[in-house]
Structure 1
Amino acid sequence: MNKSRPTPTFKGFWAFCLLLIALAPLTQASQTIKIITIDAPPWVSRSPDTGELHGAFVDVVDELANRTDYAFEITLSPFARVGRELELGVQDCTILAPLPPSLTTMGELILKQPLGVIGHSNLALTSDSDLAGKRISVLRGAALATKLGANTNLNMVFDKDYATGLRKLARGRVDAVAGAIPTLQYIARGAGVEAYLGAPLVLAYIPLNFQCSKKSNHLDAMGPINQAIKSMHDDGVINDIKLRHGF
């Protein structure tokens, strides 16, 4: 005699539905977004002792992971390589100054980074006219070098990195150093030359936006991430990160 197959109960059906609901967030959480940026403290840098990443960028990404359930894999790179990695789709997203619209889809603003000049502690800088005739250390090829180069009254000294310019400032070989102000101040503290720095003269603000490669397979993540960034501004979290890292 054939036994009839038991009829599924409503209890079993609802248990199955609850299991699907419980597993649904794992689909999003399993997605890892590769995010690339440049090594520039206090934005982000790697500890030479532990190899761990720290800085404002890391705090922002950690908060995004908490608020969106996406995982993020961080890569540090020279600036020139960032564009190539995004263009090829090797990396998904970045947080940097706006890149060409042909390359990325623009997302929310994270913060604005001040660029300018920091003079020696005995030099008062209140406007760009105070820079006339002064010896100013700049990074060759930097956007700020181009801006300052339009002023023929300046004596620009090209250096390979900020640390070199700051050492020259401490020794009196230049009158001021130009660049990203939070980074200059961070490096000066680490090098023990902060006492030689005067008040910064801000010349421009560079927006740092979340943006994703148009070749990324995770463009659908931009909606939740942009919403998370907005909520971080509303909650004051972005402002706390800025203050904590000197932006």
Structure 2
Amino acid sequence: MKFINVLIQSLLALTFSAYSFAVDKIVHVAVDHAPPYSRLSENNHPQGLILDILKYAELTSGKKYKIKAVPCPFSRCVRLLSKGKVDVMGGLIKTPEREKIMSFVEPPYMVLSSSFVFYGRQNSDIEVNRYEDLQGKRIAVMRGGAFFPQFDKDKSLNKVAVPSERVAVDLVLRGRVDLVIAVEDTADIAMDVLDQPMHKLKKMQYRHTQPIYGYMAMSESFANSGLGDHISQQMQTMAKNKTLDKLVAPYHLPKIPAQLINPSSSLSPH
């Protein structure tokens, strides 16, 4: 009887270990509808750059794990990540506030030398020629989104949080808000994918130009796990051997600058 009890306990331990191993091998990836870099089809099937990167990393790393996409609106994706309900999300701008609740993987894989611009209705008399002209305007912003520091920290502006870019543009066209903020390099593509009438919008003169870096971010618990650490190392290896450059190319993104891969190679701080 004692032998049987020991055998049962051993089998249960093995079963639990196998179960734990299987669970540890699932990477839950939050994916929002943000064309052209990620999108959800009509049947809610996710696809996009962050999934391409993780799938390639899994195929070439020698460590097998299953990638499970979790479709969600942007703000909910960020919230799920911050609470550890998902493991990974892509395309996030690093901010001090976000660094307190999630872990960013170096280097960034999306590098844009672009501008944040504001769009209004084509037939409106609104003009924004300088930052101060934003005062008194109703500005649609993605709920949970990050833009540029001055704008993000400015509590005097009338920002209207919305769940998606489509909703933001719809509100502008219906006159419910005055402006929507967007990244200039991707706005035209996004509007086309979202089937929005770009010709009914006008771009304001004022723009804020800066390098825009999009990172893979992990929940704090996943970042501290063996698999999270492994994927972080894979990202660095893929950046150094130029694999990331090949993966981002179909999305019309530039190569990752050398100083972001090897910060010590930069001659001057930025």
2:230 to 205, 220, 225: 220
Change (3 A) 1:235 1:166: closer
Q: 2:79 aligned with 1:75, yes or no? A: no
Aligned to 2:34: 41
**Given the alignment of the two structures, is residue 209 of structure 1 paired with residue 215 of structure 2, yes or no?**
yes
Return the letter of the residue paired with 2:172. L
Q: In structure 2, what is the equivalent of residue 100 of structure 1?
A: 99
SS of residue matched to 2:99: coil
Structure 2, gaps ≥5 residues long? 1-23, 255-270
How far 1:221 sits from its partner (Å)?
A: 4.2
> Which residue of 2 is the match for residue 194 of structure 1?
198
Q: When the two structures are superposed, what TM-score results if normalisation uses the length of structure 1?
A: 0.61
Q: Contact 1:56 / 1:242 at 8 angstroms: preserved in 2?
A: no
8 Å CA contact retained: 1:110, 1:210: yes
Structure 1, unmatched stretches of 5+, are 1-30
Q: Secondary structure at the match of 1:209?
A: strand
SS of residue in 2 equivalent to 1:120: strand
Shift of 1:160: 4.6
Map of 2:168 onto structure 1: 165
TM-aligned CA deviation for residue 44 of structure 1: 1.9
Who is 2:119 aligned against? 119
Partner of 2:178: 175
Structure 2 CA distance for partners of 1:118 and 1:74, relative to 1, 3 Å: farther
Quick one: structure 1 residues 139 and 107, their matched pair in 2 at CA, closer, same or farther if it must change by over 3 Å?
closer
The Cα shift of 1:239 comes to 4.0
Larger Rg: 1
% identical equivalent positions: 16
* Aligned residue number for residue 110 of structure 1: 109
Matched, 1:52 2:45: yes
Q: Could you say what secondary structure the match of 1:85 adopts?
A: coil
- Aligned length, in residue pairs: 208
After superposition, the C-alpha distances for 1:93-152 in whole angstroms (9 at most, x for unaligned) are: 443344537853733211146673431264665542443443322345544598356274
Distance in 1 (alpha carbons) for counterparts of 2:60 and 2:127: 44
* TM-score between both structures, scaled by the size of structure 2: 0.57
Instruction: Give CA deviations for 1:25-46 in whole Å, capped at 9, x if unaligned.
Output: xxxxxx9461523413123232
Q: 1:143 to 1:115 in 2, by over 3 A?
A: farther
Structure 1 residue 163: deviation in Å? 2.5
Counterpart of 1:208 in 2: which secondary structure? strand
CA contact (8 A) 2:166 2:194 kept: no
Residues 68 and 168 (structure 1), Cα distance of their counterparts in 2 relative to 1, 3 Å cut: same
